[in-house]
Amino acid sequence: MFGKIVGDFSEWIRRRNIYYTLYYDLIDKIRAERSVVADLDRQLHCANRKYDALVNSLHAVTLEGYTISKIQREKGGETLLFFTKRDSTISGISFDIAVRLYAYQDAVLEERFRAELTCDPGKERMTIIDNYVIGERGQGYGSKGMEEIIHIAREQRLKIISGSLHPVDIECNADNENRDRVLRFYKKHGFTVKLAEDGNSGYIRLYL
């Protein structure tokens, strides 16, 4: 009789341990799931804030009269958004085009390039008034912006793209590094570059 009682008690202990193990495993899973849900909720909240900021940025650009002219997907997951705005000049013959390039990745939108252009269909000419990279140079945004300028000129059936180089554009350091960089940039895109005798000004020209 005593042996049967001991055996029953041992079986009860064994089953209790199993139930406790299952119970605590279940509690751990619930806690883990709650942690995952809380983490996802935080990520979603953060993503919503980022996307809200993105929408506000895009809205601000469109309020200035810009429209998206091209969206280009790059290697590495980055997306380039090209915006343009067209305004007629006082003469009514020529017109101005403003170009902006934004880089978008991980719900972050950053402006990288700007250009101001004047197009004269009568003379089949585009004049680059200004163009510059925003932020760190050497990332390829200047080339992307210049490619878009050339594309716009061809789209408008213009034959010449020209522009002036001013001292601020080719301001030199001791070894002319900045000037050489500017010259390489325009020549890379097919422009003829002519500098004045003092080397501090000049012009660029591209025949399409």
Percent residues over pLDDT 90 in the chain? 38
Please, what CATH class does the domain formed by 66-207 belong to? alpha beta
Residue 5 pLDDT: 47
More reliable by pLDDT, 155 or 23: 155
- Distance, CA of 138 to CA of 114 (rounded, Å): 15
Q: What is the pTM of this model?
A: 0.73
Instruction: Write out pLDDT tens, residues 152-173.
Output: 999 999 999 999 988 877 765 5
- CB pairs under 8 A, 24+ apart, for 49-57? 50/106, 50/107, 50/108, 51/107, 53/107, 53/109, 54/104, 54/107, 54/108, 54/109, 57/109
The length of the chain is 208
Domain spans in the chain, listed from the N-terminal domain onward: 1-63, 66-207
Is residue 208 predicted with pLDDT exceeding 60? yes
Interstrand relation of 160-165 and 202-207 (parallel, antiparallel or unpaired):
antiparallel
